[in-house]
């Protein structure tokens, strides 16, 4: 159903149409509008039967989803940032137990310094948690990815994280075709658990496993993610048949066929990158863009197929691995092993800093002109950083860096 | 319920004979050869483990009270480790272990699922040791209480982290030696989870010990007859951690009751409604002496000052809960 609506509301309504039976909710910005709307939908009886539980922490939220899923119920929660980190232990547990929980992550930076705005530090930190991770490019896709997430999760018995950029998507209003009940029902069959707590057929779930079998059990997690590489495009195609649009899948190349330079990115910035690609193409630059929708599993073959023919790859990342650099880049490099080309990691949009078309134009021009290094922090104010580094070198008790830098920002104005 | 295997009987003599004199409905669930035997033999608990004994009574009673329709959620700890080294399991009922600190939330999740599925006949038990309950799991437990989730949570309290090698927990009593309180746990620290549970105003809170197994069964039955968040705190001596003989587990639990250090009571809606009065009260010293964790109170010299403080704590319990026989309500 087409409507002018907020990203969070579209996601909440779509999730409701997926008929979750247990929703565990703990509020954190910028995820709040999703759980608020779901609360309303359950309270009004629109979503029924469903147990909506206000829990006391994200750790409890994920734990409750674990219990609900093991009891054979379709379970859902949403979180962001610190909340995702607070549930980490349970996150690994859900995937280790093979429980098909679906969770929306309203991507947000991680403190300190505390910051409520968007980047991908939260979900990227959980890339090894065993969850499938899908990144939405826009709100239509954010909504559409949820029925697909439940399909994938339940087919593979693996939890799925749908990542949507906090505020940029969650709080943006636009025209969205919210997947309606009838079509979601046609697309998403009822949950048939692979394992279930049932007094009629008692099983023990979560037994201790020693060195004799641990490797095999863990390998299965990898094998299931490998199966997801086949399932994700198939489910996306089936979604396309029911809903008549392209959403989800592993990767989305844009103007890549003849491109010398390809820009890899995830999430909402993909749209901006495509706009810049269009503008540069008008100038005759052979540039393309590759959106990675499935970051876990990472589609090595598909990425290699798109990038293998390029001369230059720029990976635009909204998070980084402190002490080494790119996270997505490292995965792209694995995909390209044995292929020689110029690779650039660009860390951009941290803590909500806007990634503007002007900055991207400058960046890509630098790349084309051979002026771009291996690791770049887009729009980094080096003056500010150098002042603080000098202060730290000068005095032992230089004080809290964040406050020092903020003071410098203030005095610069 | 799996009744496929005939259970073995270890209990002979007067108790079993006593059971035979009772009407079948009044007999202990354990006297029934067709009992569910939720935690079957072959597990790896230490000889004389109070937790294994307590858990079997609790779960068998719960199964009896619900027609066998019980799902158990277990926190990490001895009970989890000794019962399920892969690929063997001692559990004859549906059982889920997730993490150390989340059993109450996982159990609440199971209960929510059952409610959404309309399966009101299936009941949920959450269980863990004192570390998983009073320390790392307290946040989740408090949330479960506060929401009045339909879960019976059972804490098997052996007063320290036994699974990791006897370190102090928030339930370790003062003066007890653990691997992290070499000279005895400090006074003035620690918490009483039954009182914290009562402060939540939940429908049912009770304490019990493995010395009063019929009382324990009765409390499980009462709890299973109610809905909402219910809490049962069972004292389960640990021969390894307490430094007691394996054949003394029940005796030591009885001494804990009889000296007043472990009050046995029931509370409904946050108010104490019943206590088990102490017949023939004993001085705390009689309870402390057989336990190596208190050996430093008796050697090289008798620490009358510390023992007196513990005695005062027991006296306070007796006064507070009205445990003296003549004061009993
Ligand atoms: S260490 Fe204690 S609680 Fe653990 S199995 Fe042995 S006796 Fe039981």
Chain A positions touching B39 (Cβ under 8 A) are none
Total domains, chain B? 1
Q: How many CA atoms lie within 13 A of A154 on its CB side?
A: 23
> Of A235, A264, A238, which is closest to residue A251 (Cα–Cα)?
A264
* B155 contacts B130 by C-beta, under 8 angstroms: yes
Q: Answer whether residue B28 is part of any domain.
A: no
Please give the mean pLDDT across all residues of chain A: 97
pTM of the model: 0.96
pLDDT at B41: 86
The CATH number of residue B123's host domain is 3.40.50.970
Q: How far is B98 from chain A (nearest CA, A)?
A: 6
CB atoms within 10 A of CB A403: 10
Q: Answer whether residue B100 is part of any domain.
A: yes
> Of B216, B196, B61, which is closest to residue B125 (Cα–Cα)?
B61
Q: Answer whether residue B153 is part of any domain.
A: yes
Bridge partner list, A104 = A78, A162
pLDDT at B32: 79
A202 in contact with B, Cβ within 8 Å: yes
pLDDT at B327: 44
DSSP structure class, residue B243: T
- Could you report the per-residue pLDDT of A5-62, keeping only the tens digit for each? 999 999 999 999 999 999 999 999 999 999 999 999 999 999 999 999 999 999 999 9
B200 in contact with A, Cβ within 8 Å: no
Chain B positions touching A93 (Cβ under 8 A) are 98-99
> What was the ipTM of the complex prediction?
0.96
C-alpha–C-alpha distance, residues A123 and A332, integer Å: 18
Q: Answer whether residue B5 is part of any domain.
A: no
**Percent of chain A surpassing pLDDT 90:** 99
Which of A18, A20, A206, A216 is most worth mutating to test chain B (most B CB atoms within 10 A of its CB)?
A206
Scanning A198-323, the segments in alpha helix (DSSP H) are 214-243, 269-282, 300-307
Cβ neighbours for A121, distance < 8 A, ≥ 6 positions apart: A81, A109, A110, A318, A319, A350
Structure token pair of residue B39:
């935690």
Q: Answer whether residue B27 is part of any domain.
A: no
B268 in contact with A, Cβ within 8 Å: no
> Of B53, B83, B39, B54, which is closest to residue B234 (Cα–Cα)?
B54
- Could you report the per-residue pLDDT of B249-294, keeping only the tens digit for each? 999 999 999 999 999 999 999 999 999 999 999 999 999 999 999 9
Cβ neighbours for B314, distance < 8 A, ≥ 6 positions apart: B259, B260, B261, B284
Residues B192-219: what's their mean pLDDT? 97
Domain extent, residue B262, equals 35-321
- Could you report the per-residue pLDDT of A177-190, keeping only the tens digit for each? 999 999 999 999 99
Chain B positions touching A66 (Cβ under 8 A) are 98, 102, 106, 109
C-alpha pair distances (Å), B142 with each of A23, B138, B145, B223: 19, 6, 5, 18
SS3 B234: strand
Q: How far is the CA of B205 from the centre of ligand 1 (A)?
A: 25
Q: Answer whether residue B25 is part of any domain.
A: no
Q: How far is the CA of B80 from the centre of ligand 1 (A)?
A: 11
- Could you report the per-residue pLDDT of A298-327, keeping only the tens digit for each? 999 999 999 999 999 999 999 999 999 999
> Of A337, A342, A349, A348, which is closest to residue A367 (Cα–Cα)?
A342
Inter-chain touch A207–B99, beta carbons under 8 Å: no
Question: What backbone phi and psi angles, to 5 degrees, belong to A322?
Answer: -60, 130
SS3 A272: helix
| Position B87 pLDDT exceeds 90 | no
C-alpha–C-alpha distance, residues A336 and A298, integer Å: 12
pLDDT at B2: 44
C-alpha–C-alpha distance, residues A121 and A107, integer Å: 8
* B169 contacts B160 by C-beta, under 8 angstroms: yes
B254 in contact with A, Cβ within 8 Å: no
- Could you report the per-residue pLDDT of A247-263, keeping only the tens digit for each? 999 999 999 999 999 99
Chain B positions touching A21 (Cβ under 8 A) are 113, 116-117
Inter-chain touch B147–A53, beta carbons under 8 Å: yes
Cβ neighbours for A37, distance < 8 A, ≥ 6 positions apart: A8, A9, A12, A13
Closest Cα to atom 8 of ligand 1:
B49
**In which band, very low, low, confident or very high, does the pLDDT at A329 lie, cut at 50, 70 and 90?**
very high
- Could you report the per-residue pLDDT of B27-60, keeping only the tens digit for each? 888 877 788 889 998 899 999 999 999 999 999 9
- Could you report the per-residue pLDDT of A168-215, keeping only the tens digit for each? 999 999 999 999 999 999 999 999 999 999 999 999 999 999 999 999
Structure token pair of residue A196:
């279930």
Inter-chain touch A66–B98, beta carbons under 8 Å: yes
């Amino acid at each position: 159903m087409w409507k002018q609506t907020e990203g969070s509301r579209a996601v909440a309504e779509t999730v409701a149409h997926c008929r979750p039976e247990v929703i565990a909710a703990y509020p954190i910005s910028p995820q709040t509008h999703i759980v608020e709307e779901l609360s309303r939908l359950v309270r009004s009886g629109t979503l029924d039967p469903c147990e909506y539980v206000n829990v006391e922490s994200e750790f409890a939220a994920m734990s409750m989803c674990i219990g609900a899923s093991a009891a054979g119920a379709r379970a859902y929660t949403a979180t962001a940032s610190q909340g995702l980190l607070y549930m980490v232990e349970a996150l690994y547990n859900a995937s280790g137990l093979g429980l098909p929980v679906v969770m929306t992550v309203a991507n947000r930076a991680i403190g300190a310094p505390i910051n409520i705005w968007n980047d991908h530090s939260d979900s990227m930190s959980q890339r090894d948690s065993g969850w499938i991770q899908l990144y939405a490019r826009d709100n239509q896709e954010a909504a559409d990815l949820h029925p697909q997430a439940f399909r994938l999760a339940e087919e593979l018995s693996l939890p799925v994280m749908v990542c949507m950029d906090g505020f940029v998507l969650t709080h943006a209003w636009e025209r969205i075709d919210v997947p309606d009940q009838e079509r979601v029902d046609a697309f998403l069959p009822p949950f048939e658990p692979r394992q279930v707590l049932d007094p009629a057929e008692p099983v023990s779930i979560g037994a201790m496993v020693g060195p004799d079998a641990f490797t095999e059990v863990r390998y299965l997690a990898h094998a299931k993610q490998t199966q997801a590489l086949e399932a994700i495009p198939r489910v996306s195609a089936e979604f396309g048949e029911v809903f008549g649009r392209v959403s989800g899948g592993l990767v989305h190349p844009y103007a890549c066929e003849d491109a010398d330079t390809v820009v890899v990115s995830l999430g909402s910035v993909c749209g901006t990158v495509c706009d810049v690609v269009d503008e540069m193409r008008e100038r005759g630059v052979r540039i393309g863009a590759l959106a990675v929708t499935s970051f876990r599993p990472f589609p090595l073959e598909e990425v290699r197929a798109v990038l293998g023919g390029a001369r230059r790859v720029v990976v635009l990342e909204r998070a980084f691995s402190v002490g080494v650099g790119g996270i997505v880049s490292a995965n792209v490099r694995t995909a390209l092993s044995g292929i020689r080309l110029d690779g650039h990691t660009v860390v951009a949009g941290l803590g909500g800093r806007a990634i503007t078309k002007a900055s991207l134009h400058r960046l890509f021009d630098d790349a084309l002109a051979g002026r771009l290094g291996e690791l770049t922090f887009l729009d980094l104010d080096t003056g500010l950083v150098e002042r603080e580094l000098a202060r730290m070198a000068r005095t032992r008790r230089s004080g809290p860096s964040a406050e020092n830098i903020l003071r410098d920002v203030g005095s610069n104005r | 319920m799996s009744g496929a295997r005939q259970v073995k009987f270890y209990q002979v003599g007067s108790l079993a004979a006593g059971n035979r004199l009772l009407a079948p409905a009044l007999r202990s669930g354990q006297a029934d050869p067709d009992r569910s035997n939720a935690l079957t033999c072959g597990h790896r608990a230490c000889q004389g483990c109070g937790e294994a004994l307590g858990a079997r009574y609790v779960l068998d009673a719960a199964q009896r009270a619900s027609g066998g329709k019980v799902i158990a959620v277990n926190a990490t700890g001895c009970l989890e480790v000794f019962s399920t080294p892969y690929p063997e399991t001692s559990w004859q009922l549906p059982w889920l272990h997730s993490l150390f600190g989340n059993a109450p939330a996982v159990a609440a999740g199971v209960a929510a699922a059952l409610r959404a599925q309309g399966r009101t006949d299936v009941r949920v038990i959450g269980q863990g040791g004192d570390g998983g309950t009073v320390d790392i799991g307290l946040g989740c437990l408090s949330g479960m209480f506060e929401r009045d989730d339909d879960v019976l949570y059972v804490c098997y309290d052996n007063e320290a982290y036994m699974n990791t090698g006897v370190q102090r927990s928030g339930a370790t009593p003062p003066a007890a030696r653990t691997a992290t309180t070499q000279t005895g746990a400090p006074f003035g620290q620690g918490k009483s989870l039954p009182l914290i549970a009562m402060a939540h105003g939940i429908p049912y809170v009770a304490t019990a010990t493995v010395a009063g197994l019929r009382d324990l069964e009765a409390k499980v039955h009462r709890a299973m007859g109610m809905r909402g968040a219910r809490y049962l705190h069972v004292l389960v001596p640990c021969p390894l951690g307490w430094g007691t003989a394996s054949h003394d587990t029940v005796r030591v639990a009885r001494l804990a009751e009889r000296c007043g250090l472990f009050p046995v009571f029931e509370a409904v809606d946050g108010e104490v409604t019943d206590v088990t009065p102490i017949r023939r009260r004993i001085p705390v010293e009689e309870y402390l002496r057989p336990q190596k964790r208190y050996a430093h109170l008796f050697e090289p010299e008798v620490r009358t000052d510390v023992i007196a403080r513990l005695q005062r704590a027991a006296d306070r319990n007796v006064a507070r809960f009205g445990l003296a026989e003549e004061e009993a309500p």
